[in-house]
């Protein structure tokens, strides 16, 4: 029969081992690990292991490794060795998404295991449709017969002030089987030894009693020769003794096995009750009526259940972008004003609360350029609630304008290697309609703390040469200062278009260039206004060059403008080889 010490106690129940060994340290004799092997094609050759925690959610792999197996590693410190010594075997049952495997590890063979490790289950969850695969490891540590015998003898120790004692009166003689042909079972006429009465053999020894006063014949102890005390009992004759009938009366020999099993069960109840009273903080005992095949002694075990889950990382997490009211999967580049969120796959979100995947030990990092020498730095990304299965990345993307960044979702447990579950690399640009207004653009950009590299952060004011297109006998070329109002667009396909070309309506101040006579007399001196205001239309090329047409309402002059902006020309010269 099984006697389970359980009930939501998990592996903390194993602390009882240390107490039983008179140890003050509360160590566990084993630990569970997930072993990750290198993924093919990654160039990595080193495997690593992840120590499992109760109710953890672990990935099935990452950037360079994949989950391979679940193992148990037995500790070899003094406390653990003492704890394991009171057990005969540890029975493990692994349930990985409904795929069950059972193994038994005898405690005397643990020292011969490679690295004291034993594989409990191979990961085969990739064949399941579920995004989250639950894993349950049940451990049953079976007490050794010697330890249970020790508990039995403690119960047999009669003490007036000990409520755990189960010996209160002297039992009747115990009937024994006839001696075998070798005479080895003959009475040795020793105190407490077998005696004969008309050919019937019996023995007198202390017996445990039930709460009703019935005596329990079953025992887990052995005599001086190593024979179990129950082996020579004549169970058929014992059924006729009223004090051994456990409240019932039967002489049917067919029920002899049940009679023996009933005594076995009563002993198990007494032993488990003793453990419960002495170690109440470790849970209660449940007795079932099943026997482990081939196991002679009563099966009393400390049971614990360890649960965790495995998430299939492929497709479970992804980034989405919201820009201009449109929501889509993250592309290779985003707008500086876009809102980026990390999203859970619907199947994953339906199986577990998002908080389980979006909090520790799951960590979110952004790797960004640091200087112009190719170095990078990593910064932690905080998440903000968006809705349902989405969380917004709290990042000012304009701080990384015209740069490429890398976002990572990492399963990080101190003392273990990082597992990169999601890696997304993308660039940030100013997308959409791009406009500049001389002077006002700089004021607005300063107020909004725009990035210096933003194409909308500065405007251009080129100095132009105004070439007259009409009345050339009265006009000549002159200098003009042009104030262009640029309009352009950056798209995902042409994300720097505004840097190279822009439509530029303009207002120009044209100085001189007017003779006032058809023959160019009067010494070539200007006879018209010194400065004329001209309205025009043109294009800006590479922000540094302006080509346009202008018309001066004051005198009807029409001009072709060819201008250059020195502040915008210098960066181009520095870029050239």
Give 32-67 pLDDT, tens digit per residue: 999 999 888 777 778 888 999 888 888 988 888 889
Out of 88-102, 234-248, 491-505, least confident range? 234-248
- The per-residue pLDDT for 254 is 56
- The per-residue pLDDT for 92 is 92
Look up the pTM and report it.
0.70
User: Could you tell me the sign of the dihedral formed by the alpha carbons of 316, 321, 326, 332, in that order?
Assistant: negative
Give 534-563 pLDDT, tens digit per residue: 999 999 999 899 999 999 998 888 999 999
DSSP 317-330: EEEEEEETTEEEE-
Give 355-401 pLDDT, tens digit per residue: 677 778 889 999 998 877 778 999 999 988 877 788 899 999 989 99
Is the CB of residue 72 less than 8 Å from the CB of residue 32? yes
Determine the topology of domain 2-144+303-311 in CATH: Immunoglobulin-like (2.60.40)
Residue range 340-345: mean pLDDT, rounded: 87
Cis, peptide link before residue 361, omega less than 30° from 0: yes
- The per-residue pLDDT for 190 is 41
Using only C-alpha atoms, the chain has a radius of gyration, in whole angstroms, of 44
Residues 6+ apart with CB under 8 A from 372: none
pLDDT(426) > 90: yes
236's enclosing H/E stretch is helix 235-238
């050919």: which residue's tokens?
Answer: 199
Is the CB of residue 552 less than 8 Å from the CB of residue 470? no
- The per-residue pLDDT for 248 is 67
- The per-residue pLDDT for 252 is 54
Determine the topology of domain 317-429 in CATH: Immunoglobulin-like (2.60.40)
Give 518-527 pLDDT, tens digit per residue: 444 444 455 5
CA–CA separation, 436 vs 455, rounded Å? 9
Dihedral angle, C-alpha 344, 350, 352, 355, nearest 10 °: 40
Give 457-473 pLDDT, tens digit per residue: 888 899 999 999 988 88
- The per-residue pLDDT for 283 is 41
- The per-residue pLDDT for 146 is 85
Burial code of 38-72, b = ≥16 C-beta within 10 A, e = fewer?
beeeeeeeeebbbebeeebbbbbbbbbbbbbbbbb
Beta bridge partners of 427: 333, 404
Is the CB of residue 268 less than 8 Å from the CB of residue 3? yes
- The per-residue pLDDT for 522 is 47
Going by pLDDT thresholds of 50, 70 and 90, the confidence category of residue 445 is confident
- Could you tell me whether strands 132-143 and 87-96 are parallel, antiparallel, or unpaired per DSSP bridges? antiparallel
Decide: helix, strand or coil at residue 293.
Answer: coil
Going by pLDDT thresholds of 50, 70 and 90, the confidence category of residue 312 is confident
- Could you tell me whether strands 419-429 and 333-335 are parallel, antiparallel, or unpaired per DSSP bridges? parallel
Instruction: Please check whether the two domains, 2-144+303-311 and 317-429, share a CATH topology.
Output: yes
- The per-residue pLDDT for 246 is 81
pLDDT(187) > 80: no
CA–CA separation, 516 vs 313, rounded Å? 80
The residue ranking higher by pLDDT, 136 or 357, is 136
Terminal C-alpha separation, the chain: 86
**Distances in Å between the alpha carbon of 376 and those of 238, 370, 397, 412?**
84, 5, 16, 20
Beta bridge partners of 121: 70
- The per-residue pLDDT for 125 is 65
- The per-residue pLDDT for 19 is 45
- The per-residue pLDDT for 515 is 67
Task: Enumerate the domain spans of the chain.
Answer: 2-144+303-311, 146-180+200-297, 317-429, 432-575
Residue range 281-302: mean pLDDT, rounded: 52
């148990």: which residue's tokens?
Answer: 72
Choose the most confident range, by mean pLDDT, from 28-37, 127-136, 256-265, 266-275.
Answer: 28-37
Which of these, 366, 358, 351, 407, lies nearest to 385 by C-alpha position?
Answer: 358
């Amino acid at each position: 029969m099984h006697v389970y010490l359980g009930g939501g106690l998990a592996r903390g129940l194993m602390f009882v081992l240390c107490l039983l060994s008179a140890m003050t340290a509360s160590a566990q004799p084993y630990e569970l690990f997930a072993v990750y092997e290198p993924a093919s094609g990654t160039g990595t050759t080193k495997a690593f292991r992840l120590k499992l925690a109760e109710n953890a959610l672990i990935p099935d792999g990452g950037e360079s490794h994949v989950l391979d197996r679940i193992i148990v590693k037995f500790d070899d410190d003094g406390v653990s060795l003492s704890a394991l010594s009171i057990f005969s075997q540890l029975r493990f049952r692994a349930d990985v998404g409904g795929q069950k495997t059972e193994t038994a590890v005898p405690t005397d063979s643990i020292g011969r295991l490679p690295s004291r490790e034993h594989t409990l289950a191979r990961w085969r969850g990739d064949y399941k449709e579920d995004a989250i695969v639950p894993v349950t490891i049940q451990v049953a540590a079976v007490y050794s017969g010697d330890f249970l015998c020790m508990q039995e003898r403690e119960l047999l120790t009669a003490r007036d002030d000990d409520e755990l004692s189960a010996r209160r009166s002297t039992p009747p003689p115990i009937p024994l089987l006839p001696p075998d042909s070798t005479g080895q079972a003959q009475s040795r006429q020793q105190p407490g030894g077998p005696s004969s009465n008309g050919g019937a053999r019996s023995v007198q020894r202390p017996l445990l009693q039930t709460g009703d006063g019935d005596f329990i014949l079953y025992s887990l102890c052995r005599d001086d020769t190593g024979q179990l005390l129950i082996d020579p009992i004549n169970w058929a004759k014992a059924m006729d003794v009223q004090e051994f009938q456990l409240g019932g009366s039967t002489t049917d020999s067919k029920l002899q096995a049940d009679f023996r099993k009933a005594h076995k069960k009563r002993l198990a109840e007494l032993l488990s009750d003793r453990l419960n009273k002495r170690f109440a903080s470790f849970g209660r005992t449940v007795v079932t009526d099943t026997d482990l095949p081939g196991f002679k002694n009563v099966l009393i075990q400390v049971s614990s259940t360890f649960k965790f889950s495995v998430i299939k990382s492929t497709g479970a997490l992804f980034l989405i972008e919201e820009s201009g009211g449109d929501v889509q999967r993250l592309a290779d580049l985003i707008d500086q004003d876009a809102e980026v969120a990390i999203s859970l796959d619907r199947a994953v979100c339906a199986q577990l609360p998002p908080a389980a995947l979006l909090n520790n030990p799951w960590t979110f990092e952004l790797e960004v350029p640091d200087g112009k020498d190719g170095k990078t730095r990593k910064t932690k990304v905080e998440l903000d609630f968006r809705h349902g299965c989405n969380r917004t990345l709290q990042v000012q993307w304009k701080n990384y304008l015209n740069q490429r960044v890398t976002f990572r979702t990492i399963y990080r447990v101190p003392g273990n290697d990082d597992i990169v579950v999601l890696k997304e690399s993308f660039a940030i640009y100013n997308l959409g309609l791009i406009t500049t207004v001389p002077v006002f653009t700089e004021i607005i950009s300063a107020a909004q703390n725009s990035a210096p590299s933003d194409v909308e952060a500065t405007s251009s004011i080129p100095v132009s040469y105004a070439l007259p297109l009409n009345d050339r006998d009265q006009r000549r070329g002159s200098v003009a200062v042009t104030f262009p109002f640029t309009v352009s667009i950056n798209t995902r396909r042409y994300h720097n278009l505004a840097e190279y070309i822009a439509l530029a309506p303009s207002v120009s101040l044209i100085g001189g260039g007017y003779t006032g006579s058809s023959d160019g007399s009067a010494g070539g001196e200007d006879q018209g206004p010194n400065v004329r205001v001209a309205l025009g239309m043109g294009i800006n090329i590479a922000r540094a060059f302006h080509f346009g047409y202008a018309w001066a309402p004051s005198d009807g002059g029409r001009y072709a403008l060819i201008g250059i902006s020195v502040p915008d020309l210098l960066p181009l010269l520095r870029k050239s080889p």
